[in-house]
Amino acid sequence: MWFAVGGKTLRFSIQEFCFITGLECGPKPSVLSKEKRDSSGSFRSSMLNGEVKLALLHFLETVLFGMDQKVHIGAHHVELLEDLETFNKYPWGRKCYETTLNSLQRDLRRMSHEYHTTSREIVLGKKRKRQANKEKECIRQYLLHGFPYAFQIWACEAIPVVGVAIAVKFGSLLPRIVNWITPGTPDATYVMKLLDRKYVSLKNSNHWILAEVDFIARKIIMYDSEKNFIGSRKKFIKFMEPLSTLFPLLLHAIDFFSKRPEIHHREDMTPRLVKRCENVLQQEKSDCRVFVIKFLEHLIHGESIDTVQAEKVKYFRQQLCLNLWRSRKAI
């Protein structure tokens, strides 16, 4: 399955699924041996005494396949549990991937149809609501079966900005799933908004600044740890003019707006509105690059930048060095 994200094409195949989960993803055996089929009845009669087998079956049905509680357990899974060696060697990864993929394809087709139908209605003016509600109308909830957590980890690995925003990575081991912790349930609206923003580091002489480009709101917000370096509003506008003029032209060139028909200003090529964030704490030393990195971290995580203070720069530098050292194997 292929996804177009940020101008790149990303693949979610059984190879990536195996790399992430570590499950056996080889070919399925055609049939069970006659001995296994004949012994399945004896397993059913003794199953209530097999606590380990019950635990394995529960894990298989609820975690790897994410089945609804109202759905009957497959007889094939019960038969395989008669022999734990056969059960453990069975390519559950392949079957789990196929279940996850089928669920993804079914729900995403439905979501795509609803999205484009709603978008066309918005463009045609059939739904007269505020622009703030238009994106919300195109967001639908859906329920995935299989092992969608593996898909979430794949997204964190393949789309770094998503991984930084919704999870914490603390290693580079295999399988990849053991390296990630998700503190809470990711919010789809937040992830979509994150993908609709671009963060750019700008350099003016020897000074670094962070710019947040919001494609939907059509504005650029600048985070500057030393406002006096640029000075007046007039100089600030002149400094930001190339970026504010270039971005709408670039988005139009890559057909960004044709893929997002719900955006009402898709044909507007005028320069973006430029604003300066006024509540940024200031620094007096040459620590602007550290501030740019910390501003970016906080904004991606949806946190306030108020804690990015000059007296903490030494700690920030140590933290950056430690993170680079920890991720050295991945690099």
| Cα 209 from chain centre | 26
Q: Tell the burial category of 107 from Cβ atoms under 10 Å away from its Cβ (0-12, 13-18, 19+).
A: middle
pTM of the full predicted structure?
Answer: 0.65
Complete domains list, the chain, with CATH: 93-192 (no CATH), 196-326 (3.40.395.10)
Which pLDDT belongs to residue 121? 55
Which pLDDT belongs to residue 265? 58
Distance (Å, rounded) from C-alpha 86 to C-alpha 288?
A: 60
Distance (Å, rounded) from C-alpha 99 to C-alpha 106?
A: 11
Phi, psi of 14 (to 5 degrees): -65, -25
| Full pLDDT tens readout for the chain, 331 residues | 998 876 678 999 999 999 999 999 999 887 655 455 454 445 454 544 578 888 888 899 889 998 776 777 878 888 888 888 888 899 999 999 999 999 999 888 887 766 666 555 555 555 444 444 544 444 456 678 899 999 999 999 998 888 887 888 888 888 999 999 887 777 777 777 777 788 889 887 888 899 998 887 888 999 988 877 777 888 888 888 888 888 888 877 877 777 666 665 556 677 778 888 887 877 766 688 889 998 988 888 778 888 888 888 888 888 888 877 876 654 4
DSSP string for 175-232: SGGGGEE--SPPPHHHHHHHHTEEEEEEEETTEEEEEEEETTTTEEEEE-S-GGGT-S
